[in-house]
């Protein structure tokens, strides 16, 4: 369920309903994934999962899997 929600967030941000990501997808795989897109992704993930990432977590994000790990680590307050 977490992955599917992240998939939808990426499709929405990059305005591509056919965009397919994997857990290994990173910013090098999506040319439009720049620093501005990263901020939008983080904001939408925080809103969707009712959580807040701290700066240490944000700076460590390199792939979709990193987002998943952060969300799962905050699972107690996540609404899926």
Residues 41, 13: contact at Cβ < 8 Å?
yes
pLDDT at residue 76 tops 60: no
- Residue 30 near residue 14 (C-beta atoms within 8 A): yes
Mean pLDDT calculated for residue range 47-66: 93
Give tens-digit pLDDT for 2-56: 999 999 999 999 999 999 999 999 999 999 999 999 999 999 999 999 999 999 8
Q: Domains in the chain: how many in total? A: 1
What distance, in Å, lies between the first and last C-alpha atoms of the chain?
Answer: 7
CATH code: domain of residue 61: 1.10.1200.10
């Amino acid at each position: 369920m977490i992955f599917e929600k992240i998939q939808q967030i990426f499709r929405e941000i990059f305005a591509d309903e056919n965009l397919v990501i994997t857990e290994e997808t990173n910013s090098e795989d999506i040319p439009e994934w720049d620093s501005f897109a990263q901020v939008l992704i983080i904001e939408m993930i925080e809103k969707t999962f009712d959580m807040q990432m701290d700066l240490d977590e944000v700076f460590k994000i390199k792939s979709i899997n990193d987002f998943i790990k952060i969300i799962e680590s905050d699972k107690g307050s996540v609404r899926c």
